[in-house]
């Protein structure tokens, strides 16, 4: 039995899937608002719960000259204003205990990046904020290793948390998504999210940048929805070819509505 809770107006673990959507990076304030408004309109029209996501700092880019973002204070201010005006919960990645405290003043869900998922001090700092926490499962972890992450969060007094599956390292510059992982994590009573876009990454696959197979993201999302996940994470961009980070993996804003419709059809078919 999965523990259920709410993040603002979005129920987690209650049997109705929600979607974490938004661009990989906060490329500009104007761009963030354009994406948030467009995704809010689509999700409202389709009656699907939305959390808006964007990162204020892409701290683990492949190359030193890659775009990172506006930084924690400016980025979280933008996200907080978006959330308040549009009436939607917002989320972003944090990388340090100090950033967790700053972000918690503005966002509803703190996201721990995959490479940091076992950092005990960071998990403790997230728990101390009282915000819900989304931990992205490291590419180097087995599904059952997530019980140790859950144990840390619970020991720090955090009961509102979820785990995101984003693929497992498979050789060089490649990831593979094992759909069994979603079942096994959920069997431990942990709400589970499937990250469709990062699961099709080819880390460092273009030499100085990360490559990917974005056309496969909707395919994997459909497979994940069929397993009964609690939510789907999909990075979305108005023009992925021009994105400043992770362009090859993101789903075009023009395609996202059709993808959401197909995913909800699968959910309804499983619910009948």
Q: Compute the average pLDDT of residues 182-198.
A: 95
Closest CA to 229 of 17, 52, 6: 17
pLDDT of 259: 98
Q: Compute the average pLDDT of residues 226-250.
A: 92
Closest CA to 147 of 137, 139, 156, 157: 137
3-state secondary structure (DSSP) of residue 4: coil
pLDDT at 214 over 80: no
Q: What percent of the chain has pLDDT over 70?
A: 95
Cα 206 to chain center, whole Å?
23
pLDDT of 28: 95
Q: Compute the average pLDDT of residues 112-123.
A: 97
Which of 60-74, 196-210, 247-261 is predicted least confidently? 196-210
Q: Parse the chain into domains and list their residue ranges.
A: 16-271
pLDDT of 2: 76
pLDDT in tens, 48-102: 999 999 999 877 766 777 778 889 999 999 999 999 999 999 999 999 999 999 9
Q: Is residue 117 within a helix (H) or strand (E), and if so which, with residue range?
A: none
pLDDT at 208 over 60: no
**What count of other Cβ atoms lies within 10 Å of the Cβ of residue 33?**
15
Q: Compute the average pLDDT of residues 126-137.
A: 98
Interior angle at CA 177, CA 49 and CA 42, nearest 5: 20
pLDDT class of 207 with cuts at 50, 70, 90: low
pLDDT at 245 over 80: yes
pLDDT class of 246 with cuts at 50, 70, 90: confident
Taking CB atoms within 8 Å and a gap of at least 24, the contacts of 29-37 are: 29/70, 29/78, 31/238, 32/78, 32/79, 32/82, 33/78, 33/82, 34/238, 35/236, 35/237, 35/238, 35/253, 36/82, 36/86, 36/88, 37/86
pLDDT at 258 over 70: yes
Contact 137, 150 (CB under 8 A): no
pLDDT at 252 over 60: yes
Token pair listed for 42 = 């689509």
Q: The domain at 16-271 falls in which architecture?
A: Alpha-Beta Barrel (3.20)
pLDDT at 209 over 60: no
CB-neighbour burial class of residue 241 (10 A; exposed 0-12, middle 13-18, buried 19+): exposed
pLDDT of 181: 96
Torsion angle of alpha carbons 220, 221, 223, 225, nearest 10°?
Answer: 160
pLDDT class of 206 with cuts at 50, 70, 90: low
User: What does 170-233 look like in DSSP terms, one character per residue?
Assistant: -SSS-EE--THHHHHHHHTT--EEEETTGGGEETTTTSSS-EE-GGGHHHHHHHHHHHT-SEEE
pLDDT in tens, 2-51: 778 999 999 999 899 999 999 999 999 999 999 999 999 999 999 999 99
pLDDT of 65: 72
Token pair listed for 114 = 């995959």
pLDDT at 156 over 80: yes
């Amino acid at each position: 039995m999965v523990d259920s809770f709410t993040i603002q107006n979005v129920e987690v673990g209650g049997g109705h899937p929600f979607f974490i959507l938004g661009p990989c990076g906060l490329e500009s304030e104007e761009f963030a608002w354009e994406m948030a408004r467009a995704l809010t309109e689509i999700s409202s029209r389709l009656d699907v719960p939305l959390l808006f996501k964007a990162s204020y700092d892409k701290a683990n880019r492949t190359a030193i000259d890659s775009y990172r973002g506006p930084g924690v204070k400016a980025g979280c201010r933008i996200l907080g204003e978006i959330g308040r005006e549009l009436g939607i919960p917002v989320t972003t990645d944090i990388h340090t205990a100090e950033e967790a405290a700053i972000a918690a003043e503005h966002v509803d869900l703190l996201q721990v990046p995959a490479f940091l998922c076992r950092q005990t001090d960071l998990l403790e700092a997230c728990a101390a904020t009282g915000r819900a926490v989304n931990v992205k499962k490291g590419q180097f972890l087995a599904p059952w290793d997530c019980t140790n992450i859950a144990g840390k969060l619970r020991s720090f007094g955090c009961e509102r948390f979820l785990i995101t599956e984003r693929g497992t390292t498979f050789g060089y510059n490649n990831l593979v998504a094992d759909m069994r992982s979603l079942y096994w994590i959920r069997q431990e009573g942990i709400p589970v999210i499937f990250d469709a876009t990062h699961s099709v990454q080819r880390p460092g696959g273009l030499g100085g940048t990360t490559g990917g197979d974005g056309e496969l993201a909707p395919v994997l999302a459909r497979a994940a929805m069929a397993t009964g996940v609690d939510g789907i994470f999909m990075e979305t961009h108005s023009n992925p070819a021009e994105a400043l980070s992770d362009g090859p993996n993101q789903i075009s804003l023009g395609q996202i509505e059709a993808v959401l419709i197909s995913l909800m059809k699968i959910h309804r078919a499983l619910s009948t």
